[in-house]
Chain A
Amino acid sequence: KQEVTQIPAALSVPEGENLVLNCSFTDSAIYNLQWFRQDPGKGLTSLLLIQSSQREQTSGRLNASLDKSSGRSTLYIAASQPGDSATYLCAVDNQGGKLIFGQGTELSVKP
């Protein structure tokens, strides 16, 4: 049974810092891995999707990596800004569209 874990559960950093969010999964037979952002009281916004054959994806200040064999993914945020404050969710798809989510990392970027 696939389980997804995110560390840390919460993170507070000063503006401008580079930071890394971690995601691990127990079953390496995944189709893809997706990182989402959730603002309080809002829906999920997709940030990056990494296919199982890919090692990383980049979008602006965000870079996500995937190491399938070790069951790990990281989300790197460069030069963090207060507007990056949100909960970041990692989800893996290993059953044709069914996403298994981690518990999320609640990020707070202080001005």
Chain B
Amino acid sequence: DTAVSQTPKYLVTQMGNDKSIKCEQNLGHDTMYWYKQDSKKFLKIMFSYNNKELIINETVPNRFSPKSPDKAHLNLHINSLELGDSAVYFCASSQAGSRIEAFFGQGTRLTVV
């Protein structure tokens, strides 16, 4: 069973398009995250949701809009895609206040052309 799953795994799209990446976790965790890994492999947090509420928003352009329909899902919608948005986007989940590790999805490689 996949703990944190993201779709799609690869996404190639043109500048100016709008796209979404979906994430689901079956671990029963209450907190989900989106991280971005740039071309230099540096991972940085974008958003965090706890029980469907936005907790962390790391000065990400408002073209990026996360949506959490329930605590098992956190989707990322990106409007008006730019070349600089090309990166690998990772979804993760954890249980707030617990002593267990964060679990990451396999990543979505987004290429904007």
Residues on A facing B (Cβ under 8 Å): 32, 34, 36, 41-46, 49, 51, 87, 89, 91, 93, 95-101, 103-104
Interface string of B60-80 (1 = CB under 8 A from A): 000000000000000000000
Is A96 a contact of B100 with CB atoms below 8 Å?
no
Chain B contact patch, size range = 20 to 34
> When A34-B102, A98-B56 are in contact, do A43 and B90 touch as well, CB less than 8 Å?
yes
- Please list 28 pairs of residues, one from A and one from B, whose beta carbons are closer than 8 Å in the complex, sorted by A's number: A32-B99, A34-B102, A36-B104, A43-B90, A43-B104, A43-B107, A44-B92, A44-B104, A46-B101, A46-B103, A46-B104, A49-B99, A49-B100, A49-B101, A91-B43, A95-B56, A96-B55, A96-B97, A97-B31, A97-B33, A97-B55, A97-B96, A98-B45, A98-B48, A99-B45, A99-B102, A101-B43, A101-B44
Is B106 a contact of A42 with CB atoms below 8 Å?
yes
Is A43 a contact of B56 with CB atoms below 8 Å?
no
Interface string of B84-113 (1 = CB under 8 A from A): 000000101010110111111111010000
Q: How far is the CA of A99 from the CA of B94 in the complex (A)?
A: 11
- Nearest to A45 among chain B residues (CB) is B104
Is A42 a contact of B107 with CB atoms below 8 Å?
yes
Is B106 a contact of A43 with CB atoms below 8 Å?
yes
Residues of the B chain whose Cβ atoms lie less than 8 Å from the Cβ of A96:
55, 96-97
Q: How far is the CA of A95 from the CA of B58 in the complex (A)?
A: 13
Contacting residue for B102 out of A87, A97, A104, CB 8 A: A97
